[in-house]
A and B are shown apart, each in its own frame.
Chain A
Amino acid sequence: MHATEEGNSMANGEHVYDAIVVGAGPAGSIAALRLAEAGHRVLLAEKRPRIGHPVRCAEATGTRGEIARFVPVNDSWIALSIEGARFVSPRGTVFEKAAPGIGVMLDRERFDRGLAEEAARAETEVRTACQAVGLLKRNGSVRGVRFRENGRDWEAEARVVIGADGIESLVGRWAGLESGWRSDELFSCIEARLRSRRACDRTLEFHFGSSVAPGGYAWAFPRGGNEWNVGLGVDPSRAERVPASVFLNRFLARFDPEAEIVETIAGAACRSRSLERIVGDGIALAGDAAHQGNPLTGGGIMNALEAGDLAGRVAAEALARGEVTREALSRYEDEWKRTVGTSNDRFLALADLLFRKYGDKDLEKIWEGMEKFFRARAGGGKVASLAAALSFPGDFVRAAIPILAGFSHRRILF
């Protein structure tokens, strides 16, 4: 990768960039790519020794076409295309919906590395094992980053810094953007990558219920062959001091007690409302660092791409005009709030009903209604009148209609 080792700028003792992007996940790599394409001098710094490793993800995302809006898609990034979804109620009632081509399962490690390589190809300087440990500021404006690399601290200046440092983001906190998390704003997740006797189909499977995953859901996503990502996320405020691992063991016993576990991974996923502020003078946050994941599903790959793209483009324009003030960057914040931010807040309202307000009995009622709803909808019925006629709770109808009817931002699952 471009200048990963002892970078040119370091050899010259000169650490000045137009833009520094902290974190080489999907949000950071796309932001760096957009900035570099616009001709700016960009540093993309990732603290892990290997980009994309270890994976903290179940790897389901939007379609190939959606990804291609941001970057040319490499075949090796895609494990398989998803053809439908299966939802299992607390009592085991299955509601299945065919949805050919609704999204793909990624090879997340290859994907993340591929995105960083794209950024490098556009002349971004990519450094791994390079950890941001603080921000440089001048007159309240962010003017650079302090890094720790091989136990040595060094500083780099930049006219704008993009904090794309994921769920564990500190860049936003350092910049005073109040981007820390409360424990009830996260799904606490654990997942086994396993080989099962059960052969993979192309359907994403979701399981709900207070004994399966309190305040969240369990998933079984096919990776191809007989390899699966089987995991779950719980709402820590609902799990009553039982760690997610206990629920995973239970769920695995049900999924396939003889499955061979290849690897266990964990992490936290977003279930929070949109942040009030994601930009400041010389600073913007993108991706999980900006709480931009879908709070219903915790999925955040597409949103990270979308945010990195928008933040990168707005920052590039601001740089070109020579003004990277909060005001200049607020076009990113405003545009985000108007689009995905608004739909995310709708998803959160629905999540609060499904995962917090409703008990297992209410969920059963919704499963009953679902089947009827989609059958009637296929027959051409109007969404609002149909939903009201079925046995859904009233608040569910109000929360779900904008989403089901497609008024909301285009993605339903991830």
Chain B
Amino acid sequence: MTQSIGARPFLRIDREKCLSCAACAAVCPPEALLLAGLDLVFEEEACTGCAECFRVCPTAALLPASGRFYREVA
């Protein structure tokens, strides 16, 4: 799920932290994050880098590829 076209992907998924809760999928405008059954799939070609998904992830399982998004999180 992480082969990238040109630019690196905007985000990474920390599979240890992800609870397949679908909060990110609910807010992703271009449907780049989807739950196939219970597996979170990221279609990076569709991602526009809007960062809505980071805001709602309850576990900080979405990590920006560069920089930081979360405060107080190692």
Contacts and interface: CB of A to CB of B under 8 A. Distances in A.
Interface residues of A, number: 36
B49 interface: no
A186 B22 contact: no
Nearest to B60: A243
Interface string B11-27: 00000000111110111
Interface in A131-156: 131, 148
Q: Is the interface of B mostly helix, strand, loop or mixed?
A: loop
Given A189-B58, A266-B19, A180 B27 contact: yes
Contacts, number: 99
B43 to A, nearest CB: 13
Contact of B23 (A47, A246, A267): A267
B29 A180 contact: yes
| A-side interface mostly | loop
B27 A183 contact: yes
Contacts of A173: 31
B37 interface: yes
B58 A183 contact: no
B37 to A, nearest CB: 6
A190 B59 contact: yes
Interface in B18-74: 19-23, 25-27, 29, 31, 34-38, 52, 54-60, 69-73
B60 A265 contact: no
A49 B56 CA distance: 25
Given A183-B55, A266-B58, 10 more contacts: A180-B27, A189-B21, A236-B56, A241-B71, A242-B70, A243-B60, A243-B70, A244-B58, A246-B73, A268-B27
Interface of B: 19-23, 25-27, 29, 31, 34-38, 52, 54-60, 69-73
6 contacts: A170-B34, A189-B21, A241-B55, A244-B58, A266-B21, A268-B56
